[in-house]
Structure 1
């Protein structure tokens, strides 16, 4: 997927970010959003994480004017989503978990149709469609019905349709779900190009490494509430620093490892060891120095290892600690996600 030339112009004077204050939304007895607050600065990539049903997609639907909040205020690119939804829709791009395309039309025809819907005259819409077909590496499939496209091709044409007219704010709701690694990397490159052009991007994702790689700021939503916010590094620091993971060749050597590590092994970790343990993890406040000291002590004790490594907390660790859930690969339900 070629995206180097996709994003169009520098930000205009009216470009802006997203401001959310006390947004609430319920569906009957289900409280999908309960007083959500956050800010995405102009040109920033904001990752929105949370377990299934947390409220991520509901938040995107509110900001893109697909649904109206019960309470609170949200401003997108300077326009209130309730007071001026038409102005919001004119300056955003929304890509959902499933591409919203006309399967009976070709990729080129879909792009022309979107251009016409966005107010372009027919020649301008056709010219822009040809540009995007080339930029998204869809030349060979341009005249094929979209119903015959692969998942990656559908996602590319869907995103291209949203770029017919340059948006100020982009909402990417799990844009890489179901894509192969090459197509996923193409979407990552696209998000980076949005940032370079000063376009604000809100990204929900089930792939935590995706949010880690792309986001300037991250918020974690659970049960309709923002439970954490910050950069990826700041969130990781909340659950501790680096740690050293030690895996012996013979699991029966775990007690000997504990003895050899001595003061490097905190008492609470030693107490938590069980007969089912297959490794020992120790804090590494001094990073590589802690690793080297652990290796020296184990070498002196003649203990053979399968692996010893210095690791940092991942967003998966953060997610699990904050929400009590592992990240799920399943899509959220439309009603309360």
Structure 2
């Protein structure tokens, strides 16, 4: 559905040159849900704008839904839906009218546009306010309308750029329920950008991490966390001496990657924390150390980003 090779974008302002995207290679198969992650300024939004034909690349190639983004822009646009960060609907228009007008813009007849509008109103639970003006809708309702607008022409590929930013947790969950249900029913391929790492972790089948204009990781969330981060086991013992003895035991366990001691606590990074804990408890008991508490924490995608770049993705978003 998407294939890019050596995709670049350079901006020039006066005598300054900024390489926003530096040779990005991405493959997305039909039916996948792929998340693009990266800090602000990493190049993911520029990449998305190129893939949706809103920005011409400086070099490289990209085919989207089977067509070149430079040679067949109209063909690409007919086959994609794009939900940007801002609302795509006019404030003074009614919900149903906006959907019908969108259908007409894509060449549907009036009858077909009305029929498709009603289908989407039902599918995205817009019926209660279909006759209301857009300006009266809540943030979650507007986003559902935005997604409906992006799906009017039944595109095989949907781009979602920060679809739940600014929404409360309940509205976010509700929106994702609608998105995932429609994906199951239609098989739509989805490319997502989000600052909510838990969304990418739980929703996406693959995660592509972009930083400084290049792809630095591309795999399932589970594989990235297993390879680039690790489970954290925190063991609390009686005193510093017992902690040192525990650390010595932990370092001999095959699944352990790293061990640090802080007072009476031992922090153990492990590929398999669930199997490390029983072995660690057996070995500490064997050397006469009594463990008073054990805590297991699973790695997050932010841990992955921290391991890749030395920075927390959450911190870069906050600063930005």
Please report the TM-score for the alignment, with normalisation by the length of structure 2. 0.86
Change (3 A) 1:59 1:289: closer
- In structure 2, the residue matched to 1:209 is 198
Question: Which 5+ residue runs of structure 2 have no aligned equivalent?
Answer: none
Q: Give 1:46 shift.
A: 1.6
- In structure 2, the residue matched to 1:244 is 233
**Counterpart contact for 1:93–1:170, Cα < 8 Å:** yes
Matched, 1:314 2:303: no
Cα separation, 1, equivalents of 2:119 and 2:227: 45
Question: 1:94-105 counterparts in 2 under 5 A?
Answer: 94-105=82-93
Matched, 1:183 2:171: yes
Change (3 A) 1:298 1:311: farther
- In structure 2, the residue matched to 1:106 is 94
Q: Give 1:273 shift.
A: 4.1
User: Which structure carries more strand by proportion?
Assistant: 2
**Counterpart contact for 2:243–2:265, Cα < 8 Å:** no
3-state secondary structure, aligned to 1:304: strand
Tell me the alpha carbon deviations over residues 243-281 of structure 1, each in whole angstroms, 9 at most, x when there is no partner.
Answer: 422356x8xx355333345411479966x5456xx8432
- In structure 1, the residue matched to 2:159 is 171
Instruction: With a CA cutoff of 8 Å and minimum separation of 6, indicate the structure with the bigger relative contact order.
Output: 1
- In structure 1, the residue matched to 2:3 is 19
Q: CA RMSD in A?
A: 2.8
**Counterpart contact for 1:51–1:325, Cα < 8 Å:** no
The runs of 4+ residues in structure 1 deviating greater than 6 Å are none
Question: 1:317-328 counterparts in 2 under 5 A?
Answer: 317-328=303-314
Tell me the alpha carbon deviations over residues 208-230 of structure 1, each in whole angstroms, 9 at most, x when there is no partner.
Answer: 22112222222111011111112
Question: 1:121-132 counterparts in 2 under 5 A?
Answer: 121-132=109-120
Matched, 1:218 2:210: no
3-state secondary structure, aligned to 2:268: strand
Pairs aligned (count): 309
**Counterpart contact for 1:93–1:163, Cα < 8 Å:** yes
Question: 1:53-202 counterparts in 2 under 5 A?
Answer: 53-189=41-177, 190-191=179-180, 193-194=182-183, 197-202=186-191
Matched, 1:37 2:21: no
Q: Give 1:293 shift.
A: 3.8
Change (3 A) 1:293 1:169: same
Aligned counterpart in structure 2 of residue 227 of structure 1, from 210, 213, 216: 216
Residues 169-178 or 228-237, more deviating: 228-237
3-state secondary structure, aligned to 2:47: helix
Question: Which 5+ residue runs of structure 1 have no aligned equivalent?
Answer: 1-16
**Counterpart contact for 2:44–2:210, Cα < 8 Å:** yes
Tell me the alpha carbon deviations over residues 121-158 of structure 1, each in whole angstroms, 9 at most, x when there is no partner.
Answer: 12221222222222222222212211121111110100
